[in-house]
Amino acid sequence: MAIKIIDAPIINIDTRSCGTPIPFINEIRNIWSGYRICYYRNVDWVDALPFKLADLDDESKWDEVEKKLFALRDAYVDDAVKSVTKQIAFALKYGYVCNSIHIEPGKDLKTVTKEEIAASAKERFDSVIDIIRNRNSVEDKSMVSAAVASIHVTNACKHIAPKLKMGHESPFEHGVITYILQYVSRSFTHQLVRCRLASYSQASQRYISEDPDNLSFVIPRAIREDPESLKDVSDYLELLSPLIKKLKARGIKNEDIRCVYPNAMPTDIQTTMNFRELKHLIDLRMDSHAQDEIRHVSFDLWTVMCNTMPFIWNTED
């Protein structure tokens, strides 16, 4: 039997998207509310906005609004350059793909310049400003609402980020993320579920029957890149198929057959955790001493969060 090797997980994230550049509207509202309670008792969500909604219909205030938008854009571009530069350095160090929204898919990371990153971030932000500027002529009014919300949340992120970097992380628990990881190993999930402040739903080997003629395995990169080790592991895993067939023929149930499955068996797991716990996971598992699979997934999660919540996830080294 030919062994099917899986070398990259699939990450699906519930971003509850409302537009570019920031989708986590409700989460940021909750985080900002937490900071208002903990640190800024006289500061409300509205005070985090670069402009009031009524200002958009007052032509005399548009110049002031536009000035604030451009200032926020410049800060956004600066943050993107710093963040993506770190992502590229990490990806090159460990041989990962960097899925930043500011990098053209498939582009050689070694050739990406800060100027290209800045241009991408500026273009992305300017597209939002253009929607707001031309809001009266935009047919889909939901795009206008999304654009305004994106600006407001981006500005809120900018306000919150310095406090997070000072260690005030408890309000960060008000925002949550749900993500699904597919084709990860059970070795990986054993590590993931050690982050206890989270909810997990994982594919069950008790109720899901493995097809002995179509087995797949998640093999660590260190083994995949060593032909001799890969052959030895493949030879070992090929013994599993006939064993499963024998046990099934004898009427052994899945819940008992699973005792022979290796940690290399692929699985899917859905996770919901607050942002503070996610930050804890990323900080721990992106470390150079972490196992490669969970470090890779943590890097991808970090990249997604940098894409969607500027300022906040661009932490210091």
pLDDT for res 125: 93
Which residues make beta-bridge pairs with 202? Answer: 269
- Of 142 and 78, the structure prediction assigns the larger pLDDT to 78
Q: 178-228, pLDDT tens digit by residue?
A: 889 998 999 999 999 999 899 999 999 888 888 898 899 999 999 999 999
Which of 208, 152, 201 is closest to 181 using CA atoms? 201
pLDDT for res 21: 43
* Upstream peptide bond of 266 is cis (omega within 30 degrees of 0): no
Which of 313, 23, 14 is closest to 172 using CA atoms? 313
Q: Which residues contact 246 (CB under 8 A, 6 or more apart)?
A: none
Rounded (5°) CA angle 295-160-152 = 105
The pTM for the full model equals: 0.87
Domain positions in the chain: 20-173
Q: What is the mean pLDDT of residues 4-21?
A: 58
User: In terms of DSSP bridges, do strands 4-6 and 216-218 run parallel, antiparallel, or are they unpaired?
Assistant: parallel
Q: Is 220 exposed, middle or buried (0-12, 13-18, 19+ CB in 10 A)?
A: middle
Provide the token pair at 268.
């899917």
Q: 48-82, pLDDT tens digit by residue?
A: 667 777 777 788 888 888 899 999 999 999 999 99
Max CA separation in the chain (angstroms): 83
The half-sphere exposure of 93 on its side-chain side, counting CA atoms within 13 A, is 13
Q: Which residues form the catalytic set?
A: 285
Ranges of H-type helices in 173-238: 186-192, 221-224, 227-237
Is the Cα torsion angle 123, 125, 126, 130 positive or negative in sign? positive
